[in-house]
Structure 1
Amino acid sequence: MNKILVVDDDTHIRKLIRLYLENSQFIVLEASDGKEALDLLSHEQVDLVIVDVMMPHIDGIELTEDIRSFLNIPILMVTAKGESQDKVRGFHAGTDDYLVKPFDPVELILRVKALLKRYHIVSDKMVTVGSTTIDLEKLLISSNDVTVNLKKKECELLFVLANSVGKIFTRTQLIEQIWGYDYEGDERTVDVHIKRLREQMQPFSDLTITTVRGLGYRLEEV
């Protein structure tokens, strides 16, 4: 089971979040401030951190920056403030997602699961389909003596498709996995990246990205 660290100086909020998470089969650790959280992270393996913005000693923004300096795990920021400035500060600090109190417990769990899924894909780093390998860390696709460098989003997109060859992904699914739950851009962004990706994949004749009309895209072996 995934282990979640909840960091909030409000005991009642921590207990509430713990209840939601444990009901969804997560293991939960608690910290009352940033200092305690950093101490826990130094000796506990944690899969995701839920961070409150307003805390004494080390606030949520500073804590997020500290975590980002030594760990690559998803961070969900929770705050009572809904101002866009706090949201921007949180994303600049390195948070992956943002939730405003009071929140719907169902939405909390959905966001936690979406973040864990995104980071699981990224952590795999490499996938091979037939004779072709997609390397997410080096941002390249290679087969035999041919190697092509890809841009980050193009490589992430191909990586997701290659992890489930033959599966149809809707544009919404691809946006949530690659651009994030809070992405506010147009779904046509996916179409643009698919077009560029097809151009880059021309040397690799054993793979093709197929458009499934009215549904989305899938990767197929030729």
Structure 2
Amino acid sequence: FELAWKLSKDTNSLLWLAVVGVTDQFVHFRTPRDKYMEDVMSLQSHVSRHNHRGNEDENILSVNCLRISFEEELHLPLYRHWTLIESICHSMPIACKLRLWSLKGQKRLSEFLAEMGLPLSQCKQQYGAMDTTMRSEVKIRIQEYMSKYGLEIQDVILPSFTMQYGYKHLLCATDFVYACVSVLESVDRSKSPTDNFLAASDFLQRSVSRKIKAGLELGKLQLRSVVTQ
């Protein structure tokens, strides 16, 4: 992306691929948080430059335009496409600090949710189906009570980016990474590594929207497999 930028040939699509690459390195522990934050700050300036438009331009381009925005995301894998409790249980920092593999850890998680005022009935629903008011306050409530349970801000909040193509497919970079990697590392015996590589390459093309949902489901399956090992 930097080469394209220096040649004045950078686009929003290339910028999104740069975001995905930086996020993948952090999510899979290939780069420390400090380096990740440095890269995010650099990318944020490009995001502002490419995605700052007036209202008229926004109305014209909104139907078929890729839009990227900076967000302080919950550091919970695939939470927008999963239940809140499943996402928390599959978050490595939270799972390790609360020791969620033990009965005591599960009890602490229940206490954590209760103290935040989040009923289990809501937490076990798809995130998008939760009560609107409750869903909008999840991030605030987690930050309010996290220190009591030994969690730090970097365990629950991750500065990142979201992508939206037109009026649909709002995806944060971490979700996109989990989905894409699950396609690349698919264990389907009917497919060769080359097939997986080509499928992951197709996935990076945002126009192949029909594959996004399947990739997200594969991402959940992969996370479950890691946790249950």
Higher Cα radius of gyration: 1
Superposition TM-score, scaled by structure 1 size: 0.26
Q: Bigger relative contact order, structure 1 or 2, given CA contacts below 8 A and separation 6+?
A: 2
The structure whose residues are more often helix, as a share, is 2
> 1 or 2, which has the higher strand percentage?
1
